[in-house]
Amino acid sequence: MSETAVNKPVAAIVGGGVIGGGWAARFLLHGWRVQVHDPHPKARERIDEVLANARLSLPALADFPMPAEGDLVFAGSIEAAVAGATWIQESVPEELALKHRVIAEIEKHAPTSAIIGSSTSGFKPGELQEGARHPGRILVTHPFNPVYLLPLAEVVSGDAVGAEVRDRACKHLKSIGMYPLIVRKEIDAHIADRFLEAVWREALWLVNDDIATTEEIDNAIRYGFGLRWAQMGLFETYRLAGGEAGMAHFIAQFGPCLQWPWTKLTDVPELTDELVQKIADQSDRQSGAYSIRELERIRDRNLVGILRALKDRDWGAGAILKAHDQDLAGSETATLPVDIDSGKPLHMIDLFVLPAWIDYNGHMTEFRYVQVFSDTCDRLLLMIGMDSEYVASGCSYYTAETHTMQLGEIGVDERIYSTAQVLMADTKRLHVFYRLHATNDDRVLASTEAMYLHVHRESGKVCDASPDIVANAKSIADAHAALPRPEAAGRFVGQRKTQP
Q: How far is CA 375 from the centre of its chain?
A: 18
Q: Is the pLDDT of residue 385 over 50?
A: yes
pLDDT at 139: 96
Position with higher pLDDT, 476 vs 251: 476
d(CA 458, CA 16): 56
**pLDDT single digits (tens) 428-483:** 999 999 999 999 999 999 999 999 999 999 999 999 999 999 999 999 999 999 99
pLDDT at 491: 75
- Selection from 430, 444, 427 nearest residue 383 by Cα: 430
pLDDT at 465: 96
Region 89-111: what's the mean pLDDT?
97
Region 374-402: what's the mean pLDDT?
91
pLDDT at 3: 37
pLDDT at 497: 62
pLDDT at 65: 65
Region 356-361: what's the mean pLDDT?
81
Region 44-57: what's the mean pLDDT?
92
- The rounded percent of the chain whose pLDDT value lies above 70 is 95
Q: Is the pLDDT of residue 1 over 50?
A: no
Position with higher pLDDT, 211 vs 271: 211
pLDDT at 48: 94
Q: Is the pLDDT of residue 333 over 80?
A: no
d(CA 322, CA 329): 11
Domains, in order of start, for the chain: 3-182 (3.40.50.720), 192-289 (1.10.1040.10), 335-480 (3.10.129.10)
Of the listed ranges 16-25, 133-142, 238-247, the one predicted with least confidence: 238-247
Q: How confident is the model at residue 498 (pLDDT cuts 50, 70, 90)?
A: low
Q: What is the 3-state secondary structure (H, E, C) of the chain?
A: CCHHHHCCCEEEEECCCHHHHHHHHHHHHCCCEEEEECCCCCHHHHHHHHHHHHHHHHHHHCCCCCCCCCCEEECCCHHHHHCCCCEEEECCCCCHHHHHHHHHHHHHHCCCCCEEEECCCCCCHHHHCCCCCCHHHEEEEEECCCCCCCCEEEEECCCCCCHHHHHHHHHHHHHCCCEEEECCCCCCCCCHHHHHHHHHHHHHHHHHCCCCCHHHHHHHHHHHHHHHHHHHCCHHHHHHHCHHHHHHHHHHHHHHHHHCCCCCCCCCCCCCHHHHHHHHHHHHHHHCCCCHHHHHHHHHHHHHHHHHHHHHCCCCHHHHHHHHHHHHHCCHHHCCCCCCCCCCCEEEEEEECCHHHECCCCCECHHHHHHHHHHHHHHHHHHHCCCHHHHHCCEEEEEEEEEEEECCCCCCCCEEEEEEEEEEECCCEEEEEEEEEECCCCCEEEEEEEEEEEEECCCCEECCCCHHHHHHHHHHHHHHCCCCCCCCCCCCCCCCCCCC
Q: How confident is the model at residue 330 (pLDDT cuts 50, 70, 90)?
A: low
Q: Is the pLDDT of residue 420 over 50?
A: yes
Round the average pLDDT of the chain to a whole number and report it: 90
Region 27-35: what's the mean pLDDT?
96
Q: Is the pLDDT of residue 254 over 80?
A: no
pLDDT at 85: 97
d(CA 158, CA 183): 9
pLDDT at 331: 58
